[in-house]
Structure 1
């Protein structure tokens, strides 16, 4: 990037101390223009409409609308805006969902100033960035991108299937009908492109979705 060009950035997190900490640190990055700080997805979408930042750096675990859902909304409504997730979660299931919903970067909140700089520059230049501390190889990153996106209900059903519950037991625990359980089970088999429960559990376990 040129010496006069600046990366416009929006930071989203529901913890005021995190936002202020990021504001203070980013002020030291001469090539970054902080367009705003948002404490939830609604504020973030309003600021994106107004400012059209190059990059949105967002937490995952937020109330009402998660960072995963926010990433999807940004991809759908503002495809030119790039999203980097920043979280304490190292599980591949979270990483996979963020990538599948449009994120092009994933940082841990323990990331150093140098790593955050590297992530911003790499993503701005059109590359994907994964935190050094995730210890994911290139094939693993590609595999993560291809994992199916599951609804919250499908995740619950998947976990109960893994626990050995029968359809009637799942229906009872989740207060849903047998027909609904059967539909979720069939959807899971389709999404994972398998034809039996054993393979479903094997792939989901390998992908750290269980």
Structure 2
């Protein structure tokens, strides 16, 4: 872990949640809360000014909700990874968040330790889904999942779903980036998806990540 603290932005339209989260996170020396906002667009302004590594963001907010804000964050502050913090554990919310670029999804009733672990994981480039979220995603039986991919294609899919670039996948599997791109195209065609977000959603919904 870097010696520099993880810069975190909190976006939630419930003042009690914001105040509580800020107070808790500020007790951790390796976390620096650079701003709080009650509206998504206000959070975006703060993010542009402070460039946090992680933004914890609620979904249900007035004007612009958290899912809509995901695309704005991705366009305007791509270095900021967004971790959704929500009381909703529906598969629709979770999958839609991932499709729009969320790096994780944590339920509001988890422990402080789990929120900190999620922040650390996302800041390090990983994805994080709290235990309650994982349970929801795994409700779909494995037998329902189509199995059209080869073993190598599954390996590529898992790495892509984890947020790895073609170059990183190539290095992990000791193949060329061009070969990875070929696999990526074949996987998209087999699964009937057109984007990386679609691949990630497939992996999550079928319990592969």
* TM-score under structure 1 length normalisation: 0.64
Q: 1:177 corresponds to which residue?
A: none
Query: 1:97 and 1:12 mapped to 2: Cα distance?
Result: 18
Mapped pair 1:69 → 2:68: yes
- 1:39 aligns with 38
Q: Shift of residue 76 of structure 1?
A: 1.5
In structure 2, the residue matched to 1:98 is: 97
Shift of 1:49: 1.1
Equivalents in 1 of 2:40, 2:120: separation in Å? 24
Q: Distance in 1 between matches of 2:28 and 2:93?
A: 28
The answer to whether residue 10 in structure 2 is matched with residue 11 in structure 1 is yes
Post-superposition Cα deviations, 1:57-80, rounded to whole Å, max 9, x if no partner, equal 000000110000111110112111
User: Could you tell me which residue of structure 1 aligns to residue 85 of structure 2?
Assistant: 86
Structure-1 residue corresponding to 2:119: 120
**Per-residue displacement from partner, 1:144-168 (whole Å, max 9, x unpaired)?**
x7xxxxxxxxxxxxxxxxxxxxxxx
The CA distance in 2 between the partners of 1:49 and 1:119, in whole Å, is 22
- Match status 1:53 vs 2:81: no
**1:41 Cα deviation after fit:** 1.2
Counterpart-to-counterpart distance in 2, 1:39 and 1:15: 7
Q: By how many angstroms is 1:16 displaced?
A: 0.7
- Are 2:7 and 2:31, in contact at CA under 8 Å, matched by a contact in 1? yes
Give the corresponding residue for 1:184. Answer: none
RMSD, matched Cα: 2.1
Aligned residue-pair number: 144
Paired with 2:21 and 2:10, the residues of 1 have a C-alpha distance of: 8
C-alpha contact 2:7 2:52 (8 A) present in aligned 1:
yes
Q: How far apart in 2 are the matches of 1:111 and 1:72?
A: 26
